[in-house]
Structure 1
């Protein structure tokens, strides 16, 4: 599948992959900064943003989408940066298509299976009545019981189109709901990726723990670890710190 791509800058290629419920535009300030030195491609994963919707959504398919898109863009090999689900897809890409990936930065995710902690968000969004005249305030109030964090509700509601006669979700919500077990799973195993890898985690995030480091090393022997004083959204909570790590890694 060819993915929607936002491109900026010239130079060596850097690819940005967003997380679950996100979109290419989430990388705005990071992409703009990196574009001063690189050709930066931010991709909408399948069933997200302006990319096509598809009934299947496992990590291998999503990695194949990225490989196909980069080949079509003449953007191989590339340095790949992925956050959360985008990090899982980036890891799957590096293992299945190693010639595509020059180096890999994985932001606050590990190559392990995760519990179904986000399915409540999906159910809440599926339960939102998409009726004409729906306002963002009313949608926010409807989600508040299942999604108590205002910042997360705002992030999810970026995907709600209220400009249509009948409101609709921009992403493929039903497809995402059906795919949650596959998305929660560990990335598909392949031969260890031998290229340089930087795993960046947030010190206040539960997603990457010390015991995950051994799993990283078994699949990515050249991995190094770094952390920032953030929660899960490392690049959004500390963009300067994230950029400093990313630019140093990319320039090696």
Structure 2
């Protein structure tokens, strides 16, 4: 059983109630101008992180606002690295101005999913993070090529699992356009969260039980009911005796 877990949320995307979510999470992944976000949203989210003592990280994605970064783009390795570096630099400058230290990087959407199974894309992301600041924690899908590439490069890596996304038997997230990809029921999400946090496993769509390392648990902040989900997930974790803390603190 995990005595502790990080609880993160994708924020600063201009489509969710960040202020209502942030009191219940321990880490925030802040959109930094690619798939979403601008200077105003970045500053606002950084200030909320500072107010609530939430760890602030970058959430870079494909520069494709029309599709919210959820459409894979055919980019070369150097283009991906430049994409990550430019977005990290933008958020980092604003964070310094706001007196906030960035702690981690989590790719967004299609870029995150492609990197889970494409080692070249994963290594491009890892190279960018390493060049920018090797002290940043890399968040990636649990057991994926992204986490493996990060570990191989010597980065501190957090294996991520999801509160309200469905899994396939391979341990990968179900594509968003397939049945069961998004868990709408709060009760079902809580059941999944408790199993991930206490047993390190999830029940896939085909009924198989899949073991997953769960360092950090994600909730998507763009869903309309995200504040209620965040409050309920936090309460369920604490009811199970699990401390919710940013990844990398308290000896982790």
Structures share fold, TM-score greater than 0.5: no
Q: Which has the larger radius of gyration?
A: 1
Q: TM-score, normalised by structure 2?
A: 0.36
Higher relative contact order (CA 8 A, sep 6+): 2
